[in-house]
Structure 1
Amino acid sequence: MHDRTPVAPAWRKSSYSNGQGGCVEVDDMRPGCVRDSKDPAGPVLRFAPPVWSAFVDAIVRGEFGIA
């Protein structure tokens, strides 16, 4: 039998956030869940884990010019 107890979010501000309006939080308990830290009650974007991993890997490689 599977435990279907909801997991509480563990939001943390991304290390790529800046003080100029770019504030993103990621949920460490649900990979691929992202929200705007300035609007914590607002919408949450959800990406499939492989898509999210590919996106993060591309950032680390500098493909968007921000790493």
Structure 2
Amino acid sequence: MPHPLIRQWELLKLIPRDRKITVTELHRKLSDLGLVVSRRTIERDLLALSTPFGLECDDRSKP
């Protein structure tokens, strides 16, 4: 497993500025890059990155 900072950097690069993207889409794109992690890890990363990078979370359909 790559260093978390590398994974989070790649995750930030995958987030579009002009539309929403789902965790499922991000999971698939990270897997395509060879970064195999769980959906829950991606959710945790997004939460950790949300404040310093101003990411918004649409949690209306949160399970």
Could you say whether these structures have the same fold, taking a TM-score greater than 0.5 normalized by the shorter chain as the test?
no
- TM-score by length of structure 2 reads 0.36
- Larger relative contact order, structure 1 or 2 (CA cutoff 8 Å, min sep 6): 2
TM-score by length of 1: 0.34
Judging by fraction of residues, say which structure has more strand: 1
Greater Rg by CA: 1
